[in-house]
């Protein structure tokens, strides 16, 4: 497999993880808004923390994908 194909496959893999994390993050945000007035417990704060961490991971993964695309351009 050539280097270009290898980088393309890696970008595709990262995109699949990226989309999955966005779906999870969106679902957790919807859960927080749905249960905000009902649930005032420790569970709510844990979910908000997880949403924050997943959002950071999404941002990092987005920059990683862009770097890989730029690397692909240089090959």
Q: Cβ distance 4 to 75 under 8 Å?
A: yes
Instruction: Supply the pLDDT for residue 49.
Output: 92
Instruction: Supply the pLDDT for residue 72.
Output: 83
Instruction: Supply the pLDDT for residue 12.
Output: 92
Instruction: Supply the pLDDT for residue 58.
Output: 95
pLDDT by residue, tens only, the chain of 75 residues = 688 888 899 999 999 999 999 999 999 999 888 877 765 678 888 888 999 999 999 999 999 999 988 988 877
Q: For residue 41, which phi and psi values (nearest 5 degrees)?
A: -120, 180
């Amino acid at each position: 497999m050539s280097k270009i194909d290898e980088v393309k496959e890696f970008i595709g893999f990262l995109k699949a993880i990226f989309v999955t994390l966005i779906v999870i993050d969106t679902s957790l945000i919807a859960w927080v808004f749905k249960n905000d007035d009902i649930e005032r417990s420790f569970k709510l704060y844990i979910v908000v923390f997880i949403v924050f961490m997943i959002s950071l991971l999404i941002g990092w993964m987005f920059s990683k994908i862009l770097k890989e695309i730029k690397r692909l351009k240089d090959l």
